[in-house]
Amino acid sequence: MPSTDAAEKRVPVTPETCASVPSADAAKKRADMPAETDAVPALEARGLTFSYGENADPVFSDLSLTVGRGEVVLVMGASGCGKSTLALCLAGLYPAYAGVASGAVLAAGRPVAEMGPRERSREVSILFQNPDNQFCMDTVEREVLFALENVGWEGDMRARCRELLALVGLEERAGERIGRLSGGTKQKLALCTALACGARTLVLDEPFANLDPASCASLSAELARLNAELGVTLLVVDHRAGWWLPFASRVVLMRASGSLDEASFAPADLLVHEGRMRAAGLFVDEQWAAGYAPVQVAPDARTLVRARGLSVGYGRGRAFSRVLAGVDLDVARGSVCALVGECGSGKSTLLHAIAGACETSGELDVEGSVGLVFQNPRLQFLALTVTEEVLVTLRAANPGVADEDLAARVPALLEEFGLAGLGERSPYEISQGQQRRLAMLAMLAGNAGVLLLDEPTYAQDERSTRRMLDMLMGRVAAGLTVIVATHDLVLARAVANQVLLVQDGGVRPLVADEFETYARGRREPAWEGSRA
């Protein structure tokens, strides 16, 4: 059987689904919350300054933010402005485990620095931007049980584990190994473990980054329920507002400098502040893609990737697990081929098969060099600095060229990819959006003829997405072939000349009318309000 998420329970993405999410007004009615609790903020930063070292420039300085009990606060800002760092500070992980800070962070009125791990986890829990950073165990069930053990759950742990897995649609996958899960399924498991802590405040860093639209609708509805019925406070970091608008209390913008825009605003007024949103490089609507068009491929273009009856899986012998079967595929030189489908359907697996990184049977012919940008770019870094990471690929692609000549090319490449000024930073310390662009740069610096991209717009703001596409489409015009696995249907519509649906263990093309039918109802909830 294909390893898919088909068995997961989901809420259909429809206008009715979005309308069923509790409103901001409903979220404020909490008769069961003691009055004195509401007077003490759930989270508070006072004059917070943070840097990644004694001599490093501060990520933000003298930052103050108050999150009231029961609020849903959406923090938005450009890629690399410090949102994830702020989230880690508010959760009490920074500077305890990295960096240098001054000022104070309080949870329920108490300094988080004075709380032990168990006490802190009951007040505030975090969902990391990269779910792999959150896992300690080998299987889905053991990961949730481990979280329950750490907070001293006193009831039936296995029953509670089943309840939590059911919330995120993973009850049928309790025994599966975490390493075999798709990025989106890992994101659901990470959310499940955060909920297992029973914290009164959840800090969520791009929680929907790897999820398909149906999963986004289901989990946003569950988070809205937790907020409305149980009074759970949510602080959310995201580049896209659509899923949060039906129940967010307010929006806070973070400037590129790391400072907070002094005036937060209600979601209903979001479009009134369109100018501020665009100035911050954020997504406002789908119009960002209006300037792009699907590539035109010559009828006689050479086929670079060809598959016939391809089966793909992981493991060997009795441990082999088939993911895809009977795949037929033709991708011509200069194409942009988009792979769409739900979490766990096999999109990443197909990319890995084309790159020669997993077990296959059947016919698969790939002409020329291949570069694969992983869904988690941290897994492919080899060097200690951003500059060295680019040089690793340049050296491999240009044997015999002097190192100083190769190094002279790096600043212009970093500028092109929006990474100027980061050359001496560690690839592991820059933001996830910047890591994604660095991984793409490293692959392209190697002169790959076929570029495989796994969720390239994940963790990217609008400005970075446009910069990435401009760079990519210029190279496609020169003959680069791109195969991209994505949940971003706006991206697929904008640039792909070929869209393939990965579903039920197989792959089939979606022509124009079929794609529009598939995309209908799978978009973020429409923004409400009027422009200024």
Q: Span 355-361, mean pLDDT?
A: 91
Q: Are residues 246 and 339 in the same domain?
A: no
- Is the per-residue pLDDT at 387 higher than 70? yes
pLDDT value of residue 400: 92
Tell me whether residue 193 is in a domain.
Answer: yes
Tell me whether residue 10 is in a domain.
Answer: no
The 3-state secondary structure of 246-284 reads: CCCCEEEEECCCCCECCCCECHHHHHHHHHHHHHCCCCC
Confidence of residue 284 (pLDDT cuts 50, 70, 90): low
Confidence of residue 442 (pLDDT cuts 50, 70, 90): very high
- Is the per-residue pLDDT at 210 higher than 80? no
The proportion of the chain whose per-residue pLDDT surpasses 90, expressed as a percent, equals: 52
Distance in angstroms (rounded) separating the CA atoms of residues 243 and 70 = 18
- Is the per-residue pLDDT at 4 higher than 70? no
Q: Are residues 206 and 331 in the same domain?
A: no
Bridge partners (DSSP) listed for residue 67: 43
At position 83, the amino acid (one-letter code) is K
- Is the per-residue pLDDT at 318 higher than 80? no
pLDDT value of residue 271: 67
Q: What is each CA distance from 366 to 243, 306, 354, 356, 363, in whole angstroms?
A: 39, 7, 7, 9, 10
DSSP string, 330-389: EEETT-EEEEE-STTSSHHHHHHHHTT-SEEEEEEEE-S-EEEE-SSGGGG--SSSHHHH
Which stretches does DSSP call E strand in 367-443?
370-373
Structure-block tokens of residue 510: 């979606």
The residue count for the chain:
532
Residues 506-521 have pLDDT tens digits of 999 998 789 888 887 6
Q: Span 157-166, mean pLDDT?
A: 94
Q: How many helices (H) and strands (E) does the chain have?
A: 17, 18
Tell me whether residue 381 is in a domain.
Answer: yes
Tell me whether residue 393 is in a domain.
Answer: yes
Tell me whether residue 489 is in a domain.
Answer: yes
Nearest in space to 52 (alpha carbons), one of 20, 96, 99: 99
pLDDT value of residue 263: 62
Distance in angstroms (rounded) separating the CA atoms of residues 381 and 460 = 19
pLDDT value of residue 19: 36
User: 59 with 77: CB under 8 angstroms?
Assistant: no
Which stretches does DSSP call E strand in 108-232?
110-111, 124-127, 201-205
Residues 66-76 have pLDDT tens digits of 999 999 999 98
- Phi, then psi, of 13 in degrees rounded to 5: -85, 100
Return the half-sphere exposure (C-beta side, CA atoms, 13 A cut-off) of residue 335. 24
More confident residue, 79 or 505: 505
Give the least confident one: 12-21, 302-311, 487-496: 12-21
Nearest in space to 468 (alpha carbons), one of 477, 456, 458: 456
Give 11's contacts (C-beta < 8 A, 6+ positions apart).
Answer: 17, 214, 217, 218, 221
pLDDT value of residue 450: 97
Q: Are residues 224 and 334 in the same domain?
A: no
pLDDT value of residue 398: 93
At position 446, the amino acid (one-letter code) is G
Residues 449-488 have pLDDT tens digits of 999 999 998 877 888 888 889 989 999 999 999 999 999 8
More confident residue, 5 or 138: 138
Q: Which domain holds residue 491?
A: 303-313+321-521
Q: Are residues 445 and 381 in the same domain?
A: yes
For the chain, the domain total comes to 2
Tell me whether residue 34 is in a domain.
Answer: no
Q: Are residues 262 and 309 in the same domain?
A: no
More confident residue, 25 or 493: 493
Find the Cα–Cα–Cα–Cα dihedral 332, 334, 339, 340, rounded to 10°.
Answer: -130
Residues 89-146 have pLDDT tens digits of 999 999 999 999 999 999 999 999 999 888 888 899 998 877 888 899 999 999 999 9
Tell me whether residue 22 is in a domain.
Answer: no
Q: Span 438-455, mean pLDDT?
A: 92
Q: Span 12-17, mean pLDDT?
A: 34
User: 145 with 161: CB under 8 angstroms?
Assistant: yes
Q: Are residues 307 and 269 in the same domain?
A: no
Q: What is each CA distance from 387 to 391, 424, 427, 440, 454, in whole angstroms?
A: 6, 6, 9, 14, 23
Q: Are residues 348 and 234 in the same domain?
A: no
Nearest in space to 450 (alpha carbons), one of 304, 346, 329: 304
Mean pLDDT of the chain: 85
Q: Are residues 334 and 473 in the same domain?
A: yes
Give the least confident one: 12-16, 262-266, 401-405: 12-16
pLDDT value of residue 6: 37
- Total-model pTM: 0.79
Confidence of residue 9 (pLDDT cuts 50, 70, 90): very low
Give, rounded to a whole angstrom, the gap between the first and last alpha carbons of the chain.
Answer: 53
Q: Are residues 220 and 328 in the same domain?
A: no
- Residue 471, exposed/middle/buried by CB under 10 A (0-12, 13-18, 19+)? middle
Tell me whether residue 24 is in a domain.
Answer: no
DSSP string, 5-57: STTS-----SHHHHHHSPPHHHHT--TTS-HHHHHS-SEEEEEEEEESSTTSP
pLDDT value of residue 526: 55
pLDDT value of residue 262: 61
Q: Span 296-303, mean pLDDT?
A: 93
Q: Are residues 350 and 415 in the same domain?
A: yes
Q: Are residues 368 and 503 in the same domain?
A: yes
Give the least confident one: 34-38, 114-118, 139-143, 375-379: 34-38
- Is the per-residue pLDDT at 12 higher than 80? no
Q: Are residues 268 and 339 in the same domain?
A: no
Query: Residue 332's domain is classified under what CATH number?
Result: 3.40.50.300
